[in-house]
Chains A and B, each alone.
Chain A
Amino acid sequence: MKFAILVNEGPYTHQASDTAYQFTNAVLAKGHEVFRVFFYHDGVNNATRLTTPPQDDRNIVNRWSKLAEEHNLDMVVCVAAAQRRGIVDDGEMKRNGKDATNLAPGFRISGLGQLIEAGIQADRLVVFGD
């Protein structure tokens, strides 16, 4: 089956991000396809490479990046939500005159159309949020 995943909550504050990761991992382990993981609302905060959790805790951001690399996952961060919350890639840095970037490897910033497309293309769009 072809899945798409929507993550609406940030890391550490809320269980949704952990559960989304675990679900995505399980789906891939079962041999299903994941068309796209889309990050919206505070979910965009899963994509900052500046996250530094305590050493004995899970690194939620790195965990997503690793999963993306292993499975060639398409992980998309909503541009409007990212701009509000200071998630920046090279393009956004130049466009908005910022002095830094913080997008973690494996993520890309794009529009909400990517979420709608995921809803159209996938057999199931599974939402993780509050």
Chain B
Amino acid sequence: MSTTKQFMFVNRKAPYGTIYAWEALEVVLIAAAFEQDVSLAFLDDGVYQLKKGHQTKGIEVKAFEKTWGALEDYDVTKLYVDSESLAERGLTADDLAIPVEVLSRAEIGKLMEEQDVVLSF
């Protein structure tokens, strides 16, 4: 199984309230462990996953922010954020916990078109 494909993981949901974001990250790390060409796109409420300063003690779930370090450990560095989604929520790249590439919706669409596999969570 030495084939390398381009896997894009599309994160569209808020970090808490549902488990999608958390379980999506688990797949991302496995794909990276399989040495696939992995990228992440954050759209819609998915941009909240990246926001700085999550305080999750009150809802008794693990905070997302601390897990981003794992991406670096697995050499996952292609992180794309939809600029329109940020703007719609009053956010800028300065509000985010990790360095990302902010792209227009059209540019992210173009990247999606180049992928072999797009997994949307």
Interface residues of A (CB under 8 A from B): 6, 8, 40-41, 80-81, 84, 111-113, 115-117, 119-121, 125, 127, 129-130
Other-chain residue from B7, B118, B120 in contact with A116 (beta carbon distance below 8 A): B7
Closest 5 CB pairs of A and B: A112-B30, A119-B117, A116-B34, A116-B31, A120-B3
Least CB distance, A120 to chain B, in whole angstroms: 5
Main SS at interface, chain A: helix
Main SS at interface, chain B: mixed
Is B27 among interface residues, defined by CB-CB distance under 8 A?
A: yes
Least CB distance, B2 to chain A, in whole angstroms: 9
Least CB distance, A9 to chain B, in whole angstroms: 10
Contact A120–B119 (Cβ < 8 Å): no
Contact B117–A125 (Cβ < 8 Å): yes
Contact A41–B20 (Cβ < 8 Å): yes
Least CB distance, B60 to chain A, in whole angstroms: 15
How far apart are the CA atoms of A41 and B118 in the complex, in Å?
17
Contact A119–B30 (Cβ < 8 Å): no
